[in-house]
Amino acid sequence: MYRLTVHVENPSFVSKEQVMIGKDLNNKPIMKPKKSKCIVNTISHSGMGTLREVEEKLVHLRSVHKIAKWKEGVKKGEEMIYLSYC
């Protein structure tokens, strides 16, 4: 099974509902997520069995989002796409 992770350029913010998961030593509430507005700058898809499925998913992501590129270092100019086998 393959897992595809892509970094998106110009990420968007989404509002999420915060849930209290407990209290700390000072009796302050611990919330998940920490803030109600969260940034979505990575998109991950897992459970793909073949490289063809990965390529199809990547084509779809490219049509919907602009993929971020490395700004410095050895990978400068390359797209931030990660593929792992799990």
**pLDDT for residue 1:** 94
pLDDT in tens, 16-71: 999 999 999 999 999 999 999 999 899 999 999 999 999 999 999 999 999 999 99
Q: Does residue 11 carry a pLDDT above 90?
A: no
**pLDDT for residue 86:** 81
Q: Could you tell me which of 4, 18, 11 has the C-alpha nearest to residue 40?
A: 11
Distance CA 23, CA 85 (A): 38
Residue 10, SS3 per DSSP? strand
Is the pTM above the cut of 0.85? no
Distance CA 2, CA 7 (A): 17
Mean pLDDT, residues 72-85: 94
Q: Are the beta carbons of 31 and 23 closer than 8 angstroms?
A: no
